[in-house]
Structures are given as C-alpha cells and as structure tokens.
C-alpha cells in the first residue's frame, strides 16, 4: 500500500469474549504481538531431496526448541521454498494435530545444507489438558457471524493461552471483487475475536514491441519539479469520500506530458496471430474493482507492435503498469531471481477512485491482485507505484503470512518496496532520486507528497515520534540506498531479495539487518560486510560492537581474470572491498620476476614484463586475501 495505513490487525470484542469461560483472556493479544526468536546456529541438516530436508528440519527443531518437547506438540510444514542460494522451510506448531494460531518456525539452509538461521515463535503447552478437542464448526453459524463472502476457508485452530488452548475457528473470507479479503478467528460460540485484513501456466506466444511510457516518471525525465507545464491544478472530487484532488483528466498540459513519453522495448503476448495484448506469464490486466466501465471499457491491445497512447486515455495507464511490472520481472531475470513469484497475478489499473494502490495476496479465487488508485495524478503514471506494489507481491511470494504481523515488520515491507522503487528510478536517472513517487506524490489537497529514501532519522528513536509504517519504512529504504551507493544496485538488490525469503512475521529492523548480513555472506562471502554493517550501525539497527568484530572468514570476495595473461601479460582483479598490499610474480623455480604495490584499490590491473612461455605463480598479499594463483603463458 502506498499511502494510507490499513487497519491490518484489528482486535475486537474482547470485553464480550472475556465473560465466557472458554474465551481468550485479556492478555492474549500481547502473546500474539510478541516477535519471534532468531538465532544463527552452526550445524547442518542431513538429506538430499527436498522431502528429506523437511524431515531433517523437523527433527532438528524438535531437538532444539524446548516447547516442542511435549509429546502432544508437533509441527506441520506450511511453506518450503528455494531461492537461487538457499532453502527456506516454514512450519506451524500443532497441539493434538490442530494448528496453534500465531506460531511459526522457519529454518534456512545454504546449498550444502548448512544452517543459516532459525526463527521461531512457539507456545509452551505443558499446562494444556490433553482430554480436549475442537468441536467441528457449523458453517451456517460462521456465515451468519462474519457476513457475505464469495469464498470461505474454515479450519480448526487453537488460540494460545498459557493455561489451556482456546478452541477456535480460523476463517479466510474473500469477495472476488476484492472488497473483502480477511482472516477472522471465531471462538466456538461464533464470536469474532480477531480480524485481520490480508492484503497457471502461460499459454500465449510473445513478441517484442515498443511502448511509449513515462520513464520512470514525467518529472524525472524532464528534470523538473512539480510545476507548469507539467502540473495539473484544477480539482477533482472523489465520489466516495467527497475529498478533492487535482484533476488529471483536464489535460491542458497534455502536450508537455505527452512529450515526456519515451519509447521502450518490452515483450507482450500475441493473440490469434494478429493482436498484441498486455499480458504475460507474470501479469494480466483486469477490471476487477470499482470503478468499472466506462473508465476502463475494454482490454488494451494493439494491432501493430507499437503502443503509443495519449496520457488522457485509460490505455496509457494500462501500458504504464504493464511496462513497470514487466520491467521489474526483466530485472529479476537479469540478476538471477527469476524463480521468485514466477506466476501470473492480476492488476486493475483503475481499482479504487482515491489516491491509494494496494496489493492483495492470493486467496481462494485469485493468485494475487494489485489495484491502482485514480485520484491525484493516477498512480499508474509513476513507475514508482507499480514497482512498489509489485514488491509487496514478491515479498509475499518469498514468505507467506510474513509481512502482516508486527508494526516494524510491516514497516520493513513498505521500506523494501520503496527501496526497490528508488533502486529502479536511480538506475534510470539520478535526478531527484531521493524522492519516492516523484510524480504521484504531488497531491496537495490529499496532503500527499511522496516519501524519501534519504532520511537522516535513526532507529529506534524515530519510532517515538512516528510509528506509521510507511514513515518508519523510510529508515530501512534510506539505509539500503546508502549501501546501494557503495556496493551498487545489483548486489544490494540481490541481497535484499534473498533477505525477503529469510524474513518471518513480527521481526524487527535489527533482526532484519542481521538477516541482510546473512544474505550477504550467503551470496558474496561477506565481501561487503563492513560497508553494510557501517550503515546499519549508523542507522541504529546494529550496535557499534558489530563494526569491531572481525568476520569469521577474513578472506574477502574477489574475482580474478587470467585470460589476458598469455597474450598481453595482464591479470585483472576485482575485490569486494578496496585492498592495500603487494602482487608478486614468480617463475616456476620460485624466483621473483616483478612485484606491484596496490593501494586502496578494488580493481587491480597487474602487468608483467615480457616473459617466456611457461608456468608462473602470482602471489597476492593484501589484508583481505593471501593466495597464490598458477598462471600459464
């Protein structure tokens, strides 16, 4: 979600519930809101296949998590997903076979099954009576209690209480038009005790076309602030709230804005051999929520491989969203994360009337939907918005049930979504890169001016003055952009994507910072440990002591290129951190031929004098690398 905070976790009816003996005690929400434990144990799991690893993970957790010692406690797998670098297996705790609501255990292992992290939130059930069971639910009573849904999914769960499990029903309810997507917990008397809003194989051939899009938004490409001739000043009144917004359909300024469209290549599907349509294996556009036609009368297509529409057409918004999401997917492909969220979701380019866009995770009737707001400057016209929203989907795909619990965890999702929007924008143009939503965030009547990914606030002090998740998220996006500036887009993006898999519900920013460092060690062997740690310490996510600790493996990341040695007597080195030291070339008898001093450099060109054909040894001696390389001439 871009702007307004939804009420994600809503506790209601506690006063009423507390009067009944089988209900939850008033301390219940405090257990649910507790964060998980996170540890980084050494050790490995046994097993080759995915199934063997799950069994081995179960055995490991039973051995190491005290709450699971009780013979009535067990765990069931809820997600088992592999990133390009690691495997992440998630479980829930059960009591007598039924899930305990709010528990989770997650273990991650690297490619050689070495344990990376264990995150757990379990309940101690030693006091729970074992002669108990959850009665079967009465579907009719549940429907009466929760109201109309198109799709119900009901399961028996225990709600945690130290003295006894409270029998309850977990109901997931969706309406296909997207107006309801909720998880509700009802006690056995059908009182709602918790309510939470939750946010195919591809069949057509595809083809490369040209799309005229804002890249990434009209102000950045024009290198202009929000002012004439690009701004839109007349007002538009929301039919739902009566609020007024700048009207974007009054296009006296349309020539200036249209001139900011840039032709970009992108792949689309080909239907019936004659139409190019805005659909691919990752995204399809549908008119799912109000307002319906005539604002969105029909699917946008083209009979030629060029999509060029005026800004005042719905087709332009359609192609902007399609382009931004497909562009994000292309980047994922380029950096080796194609497998993340590799299925089709729906987008509704004219979802809600006001200036809000939101991702709804998959449920019963759909695989995930993003609605885009129409108020102010339409959200779709700013690539930052679809990039932000699609990141929420990727976060969901990497870790289900993960980003809806805990204020800081939600803030981490918003900050991560802002980070990827900024990472994309800044790779296109550095103009005004600090601002997220450069175009959309100019809604004066809605008091919406976008966000920054270059704030100076620090954790945890900032949370005392502002706990709103989107603003807290700026701490995370700003720290990541500082790291981006030093180690580059590709590395920072990859480490963050890996970290998405490793996260869990309820985690804090310091815990996420540790997981981010773990991802760096998984992907780059701690090459950027100091850089990342430096900015996380400065931001207050990690204590100063982190900078004093020498990484366990002091050898830094490097890349050697020897292919020019035989022809040009040159060897190239790239280091993860700038190095100081000496490069020395020896012949096969050990005689020194030449040496070269290196001073604070992360790219080294080593030059040998003219030498005869034969075998040589290059000794590298810097603070981060002491190693010999055999060279052939």
**Which backbone phi and psi does 257 adopt, to 5 degrees?**
-70, -45
Q: Report how far residue 55's alpha carbon sits from residue 107's, in angstroms, rounded to the nearest whole number.
A: 12
Binding to Zn ion (CB under 5 A) within 524-543 occurs at none
Closest to Zn ion by CB, 158 vs 420, is 420
CB contact at 8 A, 154 and 165: no
Q: What's the closest the beta carbon of residue 78 comes to Zn ion, in angstroms? A: 24
Closest to Zn ion by CB, 187 vs 384, is 384
Closest to Zn ion by CB, 1 vs 17, is 1
Closest to Zn ion by CB, 95 vs 396, is 396
Query: If binding is defined by CB under 5 A, does position 173 make contact with Zn ion?
Result: no
Residue nearest to Zn ion (CB): 1
Q: Report how far residue 549's alpha carbon sits from residue 540's, in angstroms, rounded to the nearest whole number.
A: 17
Stretch that binds Zn ion, among 13-21, 300-308, 407-415, 508-516 (CB under 5 A): 407-415
Closest to Zn ion by CB, 357 vs 519, is 357
Which pair of tokens denotes residue 348? Answer: 């509704």
With left for phi above 0 and alpha for psi between -120 and 50, is residue 401 left, alpha or beta? left
For 357-394, give the DSSP string. -EEE--BTTBS-EEE---SSS-GGGSTHHHHHHHHHHH
Q: Rounded to the nearest 5 degrees, what angle is found at the Cα of 289, between the Cα atoms of 287 and 290?
A: 105
Strand partners, 82: 87
Closest to Zn ion by CB, 278 vs 475, is 475
Q: Report how far residue 361's alpha carbon sits from residue 395's, in angstroms, rounded to the nearest whole number.
A: 10
Closest to Zn ion by CB, 285 vs 418, is 418
Which pair of tokens denotes residue 523? Answer: 């992907």
Q: What count of other Cβ atoms lies within 10 Å of the Cβ of residue 7? A: 8
Q: What's the closest the beta carbon of residue 475 comes to Zn ion, in angstroms? A: 15
Q: What's the closest the beta carbon of residue 417 comes to Zn ion, in angstroms? A: 5
Query: If binding is defined by CB under 5 A, does position 1 make contact with Zn ion?
Result: yes
Closest to Zn ion by CB, 106 vs 470, is 470
Burial 74-95 (b: 16+ CB within 10 A, else e): bbeeebebebbbbbbbbbbbbb
Instruction: Please work out the total of residues on this chain that contact Zn ion, with binding judged by CB under 5 A.
Output: 3
Query: If binding is defined by CB under 5 A, does position 340 make contact with Zn ion?
Result: no
Q: Report how far residue 24's alpha carbon sits from residue 11's, in angstroms, rounded to the nearest whole number.
A: 12
Residue 499: which of 471, 541, 540 has the closest Cα? 541
Site pattern 410..449 for Zn ion (x: CB under 5 A):
----x--x--------------------------------
- Cα 11 vs. chain centroid, distance in angstroms? 27
Q: Report how far residue 583's alpha carbon sits from residue 319's, in angstroms, rounded to the nearest whole number.
A: 53
Closest to Zn ion by CB, 355 vs 414, is 414
Q: What's the closest the beta carbon of residue 342 comes to Zn ion, in angstroms? A: 22
Residue with tokens 């290129």, as numbered in its chain: 561
Which pair of tokens denotes residue 31? Answer: 């257990």
Closest to Zn ion by CB, 214 vs 360, is 360
Q: Report how far residue 508's alpha carbon sits from residue 406's, in angstroms, rounded to the nearest whole number.
A: 8
Binding site for Zn ion (CB under 5 A): 1, 414, 417
């Amino acid at each position: 979600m871009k702007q307004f905070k939804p009420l994600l976790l809503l506790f209601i009816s506690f006063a009423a519930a507390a009067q009944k003996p089988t209900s939850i005690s008033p301390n219940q929400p405090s257990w649910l809101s507790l964060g998980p434990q996170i540890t980084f144990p050494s050790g490995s799991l046994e097993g080759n296949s995915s199934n063997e690893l799950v069994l081995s993970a179960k055995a490991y957790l039973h051995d190491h998590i005290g709450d699971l010692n009780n013979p009535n406690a067990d765990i069931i797998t809820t997600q088992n997903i592999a990133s390009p670098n690691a495997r992440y297996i998630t479980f829930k705790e059960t009591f007598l076979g039924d899930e305990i609501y709010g528990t989770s255990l997650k273990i991650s292992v690297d490619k050689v099954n070495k344990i990376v992290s264990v995150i757990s939130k379990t309940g101690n059930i030693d006091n729970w009576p074992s002669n108990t069971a959850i009665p079967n639910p009465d579907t009719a009573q549940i429907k009466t209690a929760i109201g109309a849904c198109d799709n119900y999914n009901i399961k028996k769960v225990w709600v945690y209480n130290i003295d006894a499990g409270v029998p309850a029903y977990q109901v997931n309810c969706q309406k296909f038009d997207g107006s309801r997507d909720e998880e509700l917990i009802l006690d056995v008397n059908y009182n709602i005790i918790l309510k939470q809003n939750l946010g195919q194989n591809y069949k057509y051939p595809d083809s490369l076309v040209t799309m005229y899009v804002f890249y990434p938004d009209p102000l950045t490409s024009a290198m202009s602030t929000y002012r004439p001739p690009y701004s839109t000043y007349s007002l538009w009144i929301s039919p739902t709230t009566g609020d007024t917004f700048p009207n974007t359909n009054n296009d006296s300024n349309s020539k200036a804005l249209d001139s900011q469209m840039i032709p970009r290549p992108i792949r689309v599907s080909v239907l019936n051999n004659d139409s190019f349509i805005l659909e691919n294996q990752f995204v399809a556009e549908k008119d799912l929520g109000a307002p319906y036609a005539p604002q969105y009368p029909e699917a946008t297509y083209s009979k030629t491989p060029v999509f060029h529409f005026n800004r005042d057409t719905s087709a332009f918004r359609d192609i902007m969203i399609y382009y931004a999401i497909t562009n994000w997917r292309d980047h994922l492909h380029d950096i080796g994360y194609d497998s993340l969220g590799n299925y089709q979701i729906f987008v509704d380019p004219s979802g809600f009337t006001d200036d809000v866009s939101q991702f709804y995770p998959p449920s019963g009737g759909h695989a995930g939907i993003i609605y885009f707001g129409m108020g102010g400057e339409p959200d779709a016209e700013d690539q930052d918005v679809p990039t932000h929203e699609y990141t929420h989907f990727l976060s969901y795909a990497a870790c289900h049930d993960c980003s809806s619990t805990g204020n800081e965890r939600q803030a981490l999702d918003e900050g991560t979504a802002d980070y990827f929007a900024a990472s994309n924008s800044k790779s296109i143009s550095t103009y005004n890169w600090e601002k997220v939503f450069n175009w959309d965030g100019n809604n004066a009547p809605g008091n919406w001016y976008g966000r920054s990914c270059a704030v100076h606030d620090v954790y945890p002090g900032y949370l005392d003055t502002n706990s709103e998740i989107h603003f807290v998220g700026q701490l995370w996006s700003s720290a990541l952009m500082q790291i981006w500036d030093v180690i580059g887009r590709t590395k920072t993006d990859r480490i963050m994507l890996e970290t998405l898999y490793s996260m869990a519900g309820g985690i804090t920013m310091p815990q996420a910072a540790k997981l981010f460092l773990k991802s760096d060690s998984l992907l780059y062997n701690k090459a950027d440990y100091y850089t990342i740690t430096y900015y996380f310490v400065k931001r207050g996510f990690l204590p100063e002591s982190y900078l004093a600790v020498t990484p366990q493996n002091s050898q830094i990341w490097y890349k050697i290129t020897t292919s020019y040695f035989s022809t040009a007597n040159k060897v190239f080195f790239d280091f993860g951190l700038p190095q100081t030291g000496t490069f020395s070339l020896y012949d096969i008898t050990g005689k020194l031929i030449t040496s070269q001093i290196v001073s604070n450099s992360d790219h080294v060109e080593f030059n040998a004098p003219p030498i005869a054909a034969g075998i040589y040894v290059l000794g590298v001696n810097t603070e981060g690398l002491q190693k010999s390389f055999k060279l052939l001439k």
